[in-house]
Amino acid sequence: MNQEILIKHRASARAHGLARLASALVVAFALVGCSSVRSQVGNNNAPVTFAPTTPGATTAGAAAGQPQNSYADLVARVAPAVVTVRSERRGRAAQQHPFMDDPRFREFFGDRLPRGPQTPRREEGLGSGVIVTADGYILTNHHVVDGADEVKVEMNDRRVMDAKVVGSDQPSDLAVLKINATNLPVLPLGNSDQVRVGDIALALGNPLGIGQTVTSGIISAKNRATGLGDGSFADFIQTDAPINRGNSGGALVNTNGELIGINSQILSPSGGSIGIGFAIPSNMAKGVMEQLVKNGKVRRGQLGVQIQDVTSDIAANLDLKEIRGVIIGAVTPGSAGERAGLKQGDVITALDNAPVNDVNGLRNRVASAAPGADVVLTIVRDGREQQVKATLGEFTQTAQRGEDNSGSGDGAAGGESAGKLGIRAQSLTPELAAELQLQSGAQGVVVADVDPDGPAAVAGIQRGDVIVQVNRQPVRSTADLTAAIGRNATRPALLLINRRGTTSFLTVKPKA
């Protein structure tokens, strides 16, 4: 059985001729990492005027109250603003073995071996783009133009124009191109926040290089995080409108003819569409584009805390009224969160009075604010709700990343804790702390072994984890752990785990 993998539509597709197309259809494509493309035009302080939306616009059939049986008029209106983006980059030349020019070595291989230095290969990329201003600004994906030496845009009327990369942003997988033209057809930006699950959507682009194609479907879900690539600020619209390689950077439009998303990724076991595609919301794209055009880069706010979703077990342990919000596992020293007085174990339930439902939502809302902006966080601490004001720092890509851990250790059993949690524990020594890559002075109890059928294994606790707290109380020895678990009543126990320097909360239901 093929394991499903998330695939980002890379801009390395070669689609010249039917023969190459046929072979491309049976290849499973792999994800490659992206790196930011620096602005090639410098700062551009000219204001960007986006095309106005046209609220209330409908197709002729829908306006007359008749069943919609054709989108031809809609497609004719929006298709001219969707373009093909072709990029080229210089690949690394094949290295020549030092024996290639040795006559004795060549006796065995004759002329099958290349002679002399090899010319670097030119790698061609294919994607799509959307014209969003009449004077030539185009939205596409970062991975379509990443590392490109040359970018060309092929218009719907077959004109081909040179394009400059104004700016490219890896965390959002968005890039802005500029062509030297005026009075261009424009796709107006819609309000992606108003998109509803079940709405009809059309996807436009150039899949596999066969030419502009339109597919239809519905909005399948919102606020998706795929975990693919950089993944820092994923907030995807999911659609079942077929999207294939080459559609990257193309348009996802609603039946009003408005751009609601930039097609970016698919979920597929083979590289072809299976009806699970993802688009970057137009509201996010607009904000990123404005910053790239003005500054050539994107600046984002940062709170400086490690967070995780509140689960039903965490909510039960903390006596929370609702199962929502995020719990703070650690606060980065010197960060905006520390300056605001946030603490480990605080539950953030709202940002500027708007509810916080999950990690992805809070992260994106903080990132959309400018560094230095003031925000008000509603938190629950020790069962009491309070508000905290924070001045955001600036996002850096080295933050918010943790590592898995597989530690080791021997020692005495943890007494009753071993029976109720299904673990064998030992006290944390300075030597063990160093081996587990913990900071100096770290305290807690090390998990030396885990019963694969026990409650700790079910909760995700691993060998080498350090149990720092049980039910918000510090644990310094196996005796402390045994006592804390023994005091736990019918509720799941809330454990604070340190895994190679990254802290997070886990809930465990001890055996009776």
For residue range 230-240, list pLDDT tens digits in order.
446 778 999 99
> Is-catalytic flag, 232?
no
Catalytic residue of the set 87, 142, 143, 240: 143
Residues 38, 168: Cα–Cα separation, whole Å: 7
- Which residue intervals of the chain bear CATH 2.30.42.10? 301-394, 416-508
Tell me the pLDDT tens digit for each residue of 50-74. Answer: 554 444 444 444 444 555 689 999 9
DSSP state of 371: T
pLDDT at 294 over 80: yes
pLDDT at 421 over 80: yes
Tell me the pLDDT tens digit for each residue of 471-507. Answer: 888 888 777 888 788 776 667 888 898 888 788 888 8
Give the pLDDT of residue 120. Answer: 56
How many helices (H) does the chain have, and how many strands (E)? 13, 27
> Is-catalytic flag, 248?
yes
Residues 435, 418: Cα–Cα separation, whole Å: 23
Pick the CATH number of 1-52+74-92+99-298 from 3.90.180.10, 3.30.930.10, 2.40.10.120, 3.30.1950.10: 2.40.10.120
**pLDDT tier at 97 (50, 70, 90 boundaries)?**
very low
pLDDT at 94 over 50: no
Of residues 86 and 421, more confidence is placed in: 86
Residues 459, 178: Cα–Cα separation, whole Å: 51
> Is-catalytic flag, 23?
no
Beta strand pairing call for 301-302 and 466-470:
unpaired
* 373: Cα within 13 Å, side-chain hemisphere: 19
What is the torsion angle, in degrees rounded to the nearest 10, for the CA atoms of residue 260, residue 263, residue 266 and residue 272? Answer: 120
pLDDT at 306 over 90: no
- Which residue intervals of the chain bear CATH 2.40.10.120? 1-52+74-92+99-298
DSSP state of 27: P
Catalytic residue of the set 36, 168, 248, 417: 248
Put simply, whether the predicted model's pTM sits higher than 0.85 gets the answer: no
Residues 317, 468: Cα–Cα separation, whole Å: 17
Residues 388, 151: Cα–Cα separation, whole Å: 47
Catalytic residue of the set 39, 87, 168, 173: 173
Q: Give strand pairing partners of 498.
A: 466, 503
Q: Which sign does the torsion angle of CA 319, 324, 328, 329 carry?
A: positive
Contact (CB, 8 A) for 285 and 258 = no
Task: Specify the residue for token string 């003005």.
Answer: 294
Of 159, 166, 204, nearest to 181 (Cα)?
Answer: 159
- Three-class HEC string of 158-178: CCEEEEEEEEEECCCCEEEEE
Architecture of the domain delimited by 301-394 = Roll (2.30)
Helix (H) or strand (E) segment spanning residue 293? helix 282-295
Give the pLDDT of residue 489. Answer: 62
The two three-digit tokens of residue 214, written as one number? 């339109």
CATH superfamily of 416-508: PDZ domain (2.30.42.10)
Residues 267, 269: Cα–Cα separation, whole Å: 7
Tell me the pLDDT tens digit for each residue of 422-438. Answer: 888 877 777 777 778 78
